Amino acid sequence: MRRQWMLSLMCLILLCAGCASSPESSKPEPGTPSVTSDQAAEAEPRPLQSVFDGAQAIPSDLLASEKTLPPDFDRIAFTRPTVPHYEYVVSRADDEQGMKRLWSDFGLATKVPTVDFEHKRVYFIGVRESGTCPYRLAGPSLSPEGTSLIFGLTGAEGVCTADATPRTFVVAADHSDVEDVTEAVLAEGETVTSVPIRRWSSEYSLQIGDGYLALRDGGDRADAMLGALASRQVEKLENADTYTGSWIERRTYDGLKMELFSPKQDGKTFWIMTMEVSKKGYPTSKGIEIGDTLEQLKKAYPGIEMANDGRTDPINAAYEIHDRDRFNFLSFEIVDGTVTGIKIYNLLP
């Protein structure tokens, strides 16, 4: 079914959107023709539910469209494995803290709007576009199987420069429609790309000042937020099955230990895999820190459960929440009814 609607989508885009133009991630060749956005009339986005059978339009609101991208876009972007090698970032915020974090990460200048996260989820879509033919966003629509959120990127008519300038769209969509969505399908000109969604929640993060440091954040963000290191050690993994040749970086700060991961043939760009807190001053996104009571922990995390590690005394045990689909865990060590340790970690599958 998925193959059928993807082929249908590509065929109809070829017929209906041949005039759209998309920039490559490169500088324009000398003598590239240029038109201004005033000279090029913007094309109306097509309703995506009409592109293939079974697509369902989803109630949504466009919250922002700005000329900006995250500063680490090149590191975090998904790159098409085949030509044209377009790059995209699609992130999702499930709560207010997550939205504020992503709003800042994407460098949006407008004020963060109020969103009802009981009924909505917010998507941040980062792309590169021609500086003279800005994109308009169509969608979202939901794929027939309910796991893909489909967007169309429609440029202006006319001759466009290939300067690949930044663009971020922010869209709020109904929660009940998108809960099972795992990827975004972006139709850009004649090219259709499936992009994994980076689902950001503050659940697996620490409050650092006015910001949040979360699993899978880059090491550069940790540097900027945490300051001076007590120690740093980098190790290349050996005899680690499919991860042999990958890299682990171990960092120690005052009251905080971290492990960061870098894939094979890299060793330079790392993301946070583990954060382990042993000192007051590093609260979780819900305000729990070393020294808080078990009662405070349960109030902040109503659904938290004792870890299945063999211990049975509720005031001397570990408590945890988890997202097993994404291999994320948040664990609290309790001694005599008091939080003595916090560990946030991702298990490599």
Residue range 12-33, pLDDT digits in tens: 343 334 333 344 433 333 333 3
Query: What CA–CA distance (Å, rounded) separates 209 from 160?
Result: 43
Per the CB < 8 A criterion, the answer to whether 230 and 210 are in contact is no
Which of 8-17, 25-34, 103-112, 207-216 ranks highest by mean pLDDT?
103-112
The set of residues, in sequence order, having a beta carbon less than 8 Å from that of 8 and lying 6+ positions away, is: 51, 52, 53
| pLDDT value at residue 216 | 84
Provide mean pLDDT across the span 213-230: 86
Flag whether pLDDT at 39 surpasses 70: no
Has residue 54 got a pLDDT over 80? Answer: no
pLDDT reported for residue 147: 86
Residue 326 pLDDT level (bands cut at 50, 70, 90): confident
What's the pLDDT band for 145 if we cut at 50, 70, 90?
confident
Is residue 164 within 8 Å of 23, Cβ to Cβ?
yes
More confident residue, 10 or 283: 283
| Number of residues written out for the chain | 349
Tokens of 236: 């290349």
Residue 127 has pLDDT above 50, yes or no: yes
* pLDDT score recorded for residue 53: 61
Percent of the chain's residues with pLDDT above 70: 85
Residue 1 pLDDT exceeds 80: no
pLDDT for 52 equals 54
User: What local confidence, expressed as pLDDT, does residue 188 receive?
Assistant: 83
Classify strands 198-200 and 87-93 as parallel, antiparallel or unpaired.
parallel
Instruction: Read off the pLDDT band of 198 (50, 70, 90).
Output: confident
In which band, very low, low, confident or very high, does the pLDDT at 292 lie, cut at 50, 70 and 90?
very high
**Per-residue pLDDT band at 43 (split at 50, 70, 90):** very low
How many CB atoms sit inside 10 A of residue 291's CB?
Answer: 12
Q: For residues 213 and 74, what is the distance between their CA atoms, to the nearest angstrom?
A: 20
Averaged pLDDT for residues 39-52: 41
The CA distance from 48 to 142, in Å, is: 9
